[in-house]
Amino acid sequence: MDINQLIASRIRDLRGKHAWSLDALADRSGVSRSTISLIERGVSSPTAIVLDKLAAALHVPLASLFERPSAEDTPSPISRADKQAVWTDPASGYVRRHLSAAVACPTQLVEIHFPAGQRVSYETSMQEPDVVQQVWMIQGTMEVRVGETTWRLGKGDCLTMKLNQPTAFHNPGRVTARYLVAITAPSQKGI
């Protein structure tokens, strides 16, 4: 399944679970009805900021929008590399690969490749105190702002933060940064 179709399906399904119209989701997220419609039809590649707004309105972690549904009654505990969802933010060029298998698990793993000089701000983060994100640097340098505090991370550093306040990611370096994100949402059966 194409990544835009995957995102479209997830947003449509989550909106349906809430029994919300396009207008209701637009009101809750601050994303226009027409943009949501384009996303749900899979004809638009939304930015990370738009997806963050939609995820927050739908009360799910951003990573859940990239989760592939399992067609099996008992999903495989293995996530094969050639089946992992890969998405590129059209605004910043950052690439995220959803690594976790489609089994019920409160923790999801995501690999990020973040281009030099780019920045992404999540001003509408989930703002739920039980969702924790860890960022472990594999290559390069990143500056991560959590609320009013900015942390500079280099290879091997790991930052743990709650997703209850705005966050921003910036690569001040000259090379693409690569890092692993682990998102734990204890309230989720499987994100």
Over residues 119-157, the pLDDT tens digits come to 999 876 555 668 899 999 999 999 999 999 999 999 999
pLDDT, residue 94, reads: 96
pLDDT, residue 73, reads: 61
pLDDT, one tens digit per residue, over 6-17 is 999 999 999 999
pLDDT, residue 191, reads: 41
What six digits make up the tokens of 116? 């030099």
Q: Is the same domain home to 119 and 169?
A: yes
Q: Is the same domain home to 127 and 175?
A: yes
Q: Is the same domain home to 113 and 150?
A: yes
Q: Is the same domain home to 158 and 93?
A: yes
- Residue 29: closest CA among 59, 2, 53: 53
Q: Is the same domain home to 85 and 160?
A: yes
- Residue 131: closest CA among 86, 64, 177, 178: 64
Q: What domain range is 50 assigned to? A: 3-66
Q: Is the same domain home to 40 and 87?
A: no
Instruction: Select from 27, 42, 66 the last residue of a domain.
Output: 66
Q: Is the same domain home to 88 and 138?
A: yes
Q: Is the same domain home to 101 and 24?
A: no
Q: Is the same domain home to 91 and 129?
A: yes
> What is the rounded radius of gyration, in angstroms, for the C-alpha atoms of the chain?
16
Total of domains in the chain: 2
For 29, what's the count of Cα atoms within 13 Å in the CB-facing half-sphere? 28
Q: Is the same domain home to 110 and 42?
A: no
Kindly state the average pLDDT of the residues 68-75.
65
In a domain, 71, yes or no: no
Strand partners, 73: none
CA dihedral 38, 44, 45, 47 (to 10 degrees): -50
- Residues near 58 by Cβ (< 8 Å), separated by ≥ 6? 11, 14, 15, 18, 25, 29
DSSP state of 30: S
In a domain, 72, yes or no: no
Q: Is the same domain home to 95 and 170?
A: yes
In a domain, 136, yes or no: yes
Kindly state the average pLDDT of the residues 151-173.
95
In a domain, 148, yes or no: yes
Q: Is the same domain home to 9 and 49?
A: yes
Burial class (CB in 10 A: 0-12, 13-18, 19+), 111: middle
- State in Å, rounded, how far the first CA of the chain is from the last one: 18
Q: Is the pLDDT of residue 71 over 80?
A: no
Helices 33-40 and 48-58 pack at an angle, to 10 degrees, of 100
DSSP state of 51: H
